[in-house]
Amino acid sequence: MAGGNSAQLLIVDDEAAHMRALCDTLAAEGFDMTGCASAADALAMLSAGRRFDLLLTDLRMPGMDGISLLRAAQERDPHIVGVIMTGEGSIATAVEAMKSGALDYVLKPFKLSSVLPVLSRALEVRRLRLRNEALEAGLRARTAELEEINRDLEAYAASVSHDLRAPLRSIQGLTTMLRERLPAPLNEEARLLLDLIGRSVERMKDLVEGLMRLARVGQHPLRHELVDVAALVGEVVADLKLQEGMEALSVTATGDLPPAAADRSLLRQIFVNLLTNAFKFSRHRDPAVIQVGYGEDAYWVRDNGKGFDMAHAQRLFTPFVRLHRSSEIEGTGIGLSIVQRVVQRHGGRVWAQASPDLGACFYFTLPRAQPPEGERPGD
């Protein structure tokens, strides 16, 4: 606003005497006033680049009425707010004006005590709009910045992971050569050291592969489709049972699993990681119970395994963080991070409930979709 503290007001009234009197009265209240006796003069000012905080215009004017003027003014300056002046017999029209973009109206003839609160409210609305617009712009800029940072990190993770593969293969190959060329039989210390190198290399390879999978989640373009979740879970279970050590996997579906609007390959990763986790933590139970279900707008995977203390729940989805020792449960601590990234990319959320030695349940939300009438998912 010009003048430091005063708001810029534009008064438009074809009754010139009334317009000048109103300008003088409001100027005495600290407003920076500009008056026009026609809509054409007001629009000429706005078209020339003059900016005002508030437009106070008469409703009935020759050539262009107040509603049309307000619309035209907002096309030239979207930040200007409008208040309509009208007589007693035109209140219904004034209400229509508010529906068309005016913030309020005042009745003519009016007292200063009735005008000032209306102007104050309108200017406060303008201030809040500008503040909200600035916040939204800042949020968009910050979101774009974070997305760029994430892309850079994902690219860096993928590059590092790729570059680490070659030296790991070299270490593994050299260890094998060393084992073959040392005079046999190996003493106990040499054998233990070589075994330790081999296990460390395998562990590092698992971490590198996990890092690659995590990076690919962010780089994978989303392809939304209607996914038959029940069929997908069945496929995942059948595939996991073919993996070494997971032959005993048994999963029970509890109730209906509604279809989801999601990227099928990424949704598959969610269930692969959650079901693999559930099996690892419950396989020593007799019997091991793993369930998949849906309720209260969330899919869930539950097991009766080792569980965990909810005091550490906030660390669950941090990459490479594990709540159990690797000597107890194998893994890299990447799986749940992948689950979280996939769910968040779909606009959902993921959380868990558990108790030590009483199992755990992981919940996640996804956009729910109904198949078109007469069509089943996967048709």
Residue-level pLDDT at 165: 74
Does residue 328 sit in helix, strand or coil?
A: coil
pLDDT higher than threshold 80 for residue 152: no
CATH superfamily of 8-110: Response regulator (3.40.50.2300)
Domain with CATH 3.30.565.10 in the chain: 224-364
Strands 260-263 and 298-303: unpaired
Residue-level pLDDT at 306: 85
> What integer is the mean pLDDT of 304-324?
75
Q: In terms of pTM, does the model score above 0.85?
A: no
Domain with CATH 1.10.287 in the chain: 147-219
For tokens 């081999």, the residue is 198
pLDDT higher than threshold 90 for residue 8: yes
CATH superfamily of 224-364: Histidine kinase-like ATPase, C-terminal domain (3.30.565.10)
> What integer is the mean pLDDT of 160-181?
80
Over the stretch 268-281, which tens digit does the pLDDT of each residue have? 889 998 999 899 88
Mean pLDDT of the chain: 82
pLDDT higher than threshold 70 for residue 195: yes
Topology given in CATH for the domain delimited by 147-219: Helix Hairpins (1.10.287)
Domain with CATH 3.40.50.2300 in the chain: 8-110
Residue-level pLDDT at 69: 92
pLDDT higher than threshold 80 for residue 142: yes
For tokens 């892309």, the residue is 151
pLDDT higher than threshold 80 for residue 287: yes
What secondary structure does DSSP assign to 255-293, as a single string? S----EEEEHHHHHHHHHHHHHHHHHHHTTSSS--EEEE
What secondary structure does DSSP assign to 215-236, as a single string? HHHHHSPP-EEEE-HHHHHHHH
Q: Where does residue 190 rank: exposed (0-12), middle (13-18), buried (19+ CB within 10 A)?
A: middle
- Lowest-pLDDT range of 4-8, 60-64, 166-170: 4-8
Over the stretch 79-88, which tens digit does the pLDDT of each residue have? 899 998 887 6
Provide the strand spans (E) within the chain: 8-12, 32-36, 54-58, 81-87, 104-108, 224-227, 251-254, 260-263, 290-295, 298-303, 350-354, 360-364
CA 9 – CA 242 distance, rounded (Å): 76
